[in-house]
Amino acid sequence: MPKKALSQYAILGLLCWKPMSGYDIKKLVEVGLSFFWNVSYGQIFPVLNKLVAEGWATKHADPASGGRGRVAYEVTTKGRKAFKTWLGEPSGLPQLRDELKLKFFLTSRSGTADGVRLLEEYGVQQREHLAMLKESEVVLRVALSQAEMPDELLELRQALGWDDQPDTHDHANELLVFYLTLRSGVLVAEARVAWVDEVLPILKAGKIPRQKSSKETK
Amino acid sequence: MPKKALSQYAILGLLCWKPMSGYDIKKLVEVGLSFFWNVSYGQIFPVLNKLVAEGWATKHADPASGGRGRVAYEVTTKGRKAFKTWLGEPSGLPQLRDELKLKFFLTSRSGTADGVRLLEEYGVQQREHLAMLKESEVVLRVALSQAEMPDELLELRQALGWDDQPDTHDHANELLVFYLTLRSGVLVAEARVAWVDEVLPILKAGKIPRQKSSKETK
DNA sequence: TTGCAACCTATCTAAAAGATATATCGTAAC
DNA sequence: GTTACGATATATCTTTTAGATAGGTTGCAA
């Protein structure tokens, strides 16, 4: 068997948090992981079936919740063990597919006009993305620094699916890890913005200035 | 037709540089693009056939080069036009699949021990990757700042396929763009290292220090 | 009572990744 | 000289992933 099947473990890991439906998983990934991981419905349902087939999860049709055909999946002890094993295995480098950087690279033979335009587009896109991440960051910092719970946090708890078990678990570490992960998104987006700011003048000038940027004095 | 088929344009864009074989394309991507884009043989050959079928490229069996069954693909005027069109179309956000960050995020319910280990692993991995990129950066800076050509640059020219046409084209802008693109890899890798350095102490302490990092004074 | 938006499970097709099959050439060991 | 091996090179196979969409239910508003 030649593949990695990482999405399988991503979904298994989410089920270790609590039993979920396919739709829950999709939403949770969109809210919390989308800037470093994604899953599509085309993966989720085949994977869920596979997990059940391998005995890593069980499937419960839950007619209680409104009569809708809601199907919840719950991880088994065997599944939990498989997840733990995966955590200990070596991991590959981050894989990236950056459309604008690709375009930028490919224009190098056709003069600098296209390159300048693409860089500017990249700057706009990344600043926008960064602003979005920073908004979430503020909400999370508030949540972490004070005991009472503002409205935004209630919303966040709901999005994360923490609105179910009021006092059994305080979610303190989850909240912290979520914040720390988000920080990585912020730092990387800032780096991409900084790249545009550094590189755009160079491309316009056609050459690298003698004095490099100040932070180069490491 | 529901898909993006970005690799198609990546390969088309490379063919706009000069006629190449599938193997050439693979090598070139590995040398120059691998930290923000990748293609596999499983994409290259189907795409090349498709390009020919659409009239965007022509296929030449080239028996001159040693009698080997070398097959070169050359872009057509129609293909060049299609590439230009694609350059002007809107681009999506960078798509990332970061295995270690995924693992880190998923461990938030099982205490901090796994998280600390994973972060340390991430730091090692990214520092290593950064060192590699910085080596290439030095070579490129040398190449850009002086007229004469050191041995490393000859090697680089060869890897990029610039060892063919000695004086017809000076490749100055390609070299510059290649350097600028590489800078983005360096800045992002530095951001990831910085993330680990910021986040690891917080996770160990279990809480965010009152005073955030100095650069927060934007 | 119709219409429609949000919710939810699920599948279909195309694109991409990774391993591997196949064949040629150069060269070094036997 | 011929056999073995590694590098070059084209290509395909299978699995995994992405994106669009199908199809059904529920709640609500016109």
Q: At A25, which CATH number?
A: 1.10.10.10
Domain count along chain A: 2
Nearest to B203 among A111, A180, A194 (CB): A180
Same domain, A104 and A212: yes
Residue B213 has pLDDT above 50, yes or no: no
SS3 A73: strand
Decide if B29 contacts B39 (C-beta within 8 A).
Answer: yes
Distance, in Å, from the CA atom of A14 to the CA atom of B10, rounded to the nearest integer, reads: 34
d(CA B1, CA B147): 49
pLDDT at B206 over 90: no
For residue A94, being part of any structural domain is answered with no
Identity of the highest mean pLDDT range in A62-71, A143-152, B145-154, B203-212: B203-212
Query: Is a pLDDT exceeding 60 seen at residue A151?
Result: no
Would A93 be classed as within a structural domain? no
Residue A51 and residue A73 in contact, taking contact as beta carbons nearer than 8 Å? yes
Same domain, B103 and B181: yes
Is the domain of A84 the same as that of A113? no
pLDDT above 90 as % of chain A:
60
Would an 8 Å CB–CB cutoff place A103 in contact with chain B? yes
Interatomic CA–C1' length for residue A16 and nucleotide C9, angstroms: 21
Q: Is A156 buried (19+), middle (13-18) or exposed (0-12) by CB count in 10 A?
A: buried
pLDDT tens by residue, B143-167: 877 645 555 565 666 666 665 544 4
Q: Do A84 and A124 reside in the same domain of the chain?
A: no
Q: Are B109 and A173 in contact (CB under 8 A)?
A: yes
The answer to whether the CB of A99 falls within 8 A of the CB of B92 is yes
Is A51 within a domain? yes
Same domain, yes or no: A82 and A111: no
Interface contact flag, B198 A190, Cβ < 8 Å: no
3-state secondary structure of A58: strand
Shared domain check, B190 and B104: yes
Residue A1 lies in a domain: no
DSSP secondary-structure letter at A20?
Answer: B
Is B93 among the domain residues?
no
In sequence order, what E strands does chain A have?
57-61, 71-75, 95-97
The amino acid that residue A198 corresponds to is E
CB of B129 within 8 Å of any CB in chain A? yes
The C-alpha atoms of residue B176 and residue B198 are separated, in whole angstroms, by 33
Mean pLDDT of B177-195: 96
Specify whether A194 is located in the same domain as A108.
yes
Q: Does a structural domain hold residue A170?
A: yes
Residue B216 counted as domain residue = no
pLDDT for A207 equals 72
Mean pLDDT in residue range A85-108: 94
Domain of B37 in residue numbering reads as: 6-88
A78 and A170 share one domain = no
Answer yes or no: are the C-beta atoms of A51 and A12 closer than 8 Å: yes
pLDDT recorded at residue B181: 95
Read off the tokens for A196: 């545009």
Does the nearest atom of strand C lie within 7 Å of B1's Cβ?
A: yes
Same domain, A48 and A147: no
Q: Does B45 touch chain A (CB under 8 A)?
A: no
Regarding whether B73 and B106 lie in a shared domain, the answer is no
Nearest to B37 by CA among A102, A100, A103: A102
Tell me how far apart the alpha carbons of residues A33 and A117 are, in angstroms, rounded to a whole number: 30
Report CA-CA distances (Å) from B55 to A131, A164, B78, B82, B124.
43, 58, 7, 10, 47
Q: Following CA atoms B151, B155, B156, B162 in sequence, which dihedral angle do they give, to the nearest 10 degrees? A: 110
pLDDT of the residue at B155:
63
B73 and B104 inside one domain: no
Side-chain half-sphere of A18: how many Cα atoms within 13 Å? 11
pLDDT higher than threshold 50 for residue A1: no
Which of A102, A141, A142 is the mutation pick for testing B, counting most B CBs within 10 A?
A102
Tell which of B88, B109, B132 closes a domain. B88
Residue at B120 is within a domain: yes
pLDDT at B214 over 80: no
Nearest nucleotide over every DNA/RNA strand to the A65 CA, judged by C1' = D26
Residue-by-residue DSSP string for chain B: -----HHHHHHHHHHTTS-B-HHHHHHHHHHHTTTT----HHHHHHHHHHHHHTTSEEEEE-TTTTTS--EEEEE-HHHHHHHHHHHHS--PPPEEE-HHHHHHHHGGGS-SHHHHHHHHHHHHHHHHHHHHHHHHHHHHHHHHH-SS--HHHHHHHHHHT-SS-TTT---HHHHHHHHHHHHHHHHHHHHHHHHHHHHHHHHHHTS--SS--GGG--
Rounded to whole angstroms, the Cα distance separating A123 from A129 reads 10
Q: In this complex, do B177 and A17 lie within 8 Å of one another by their Cβ atoms?
A: no
Residue A111 and residue A210 in one domain: yes
Q: What is the identity of the amino acid at B206? A: G
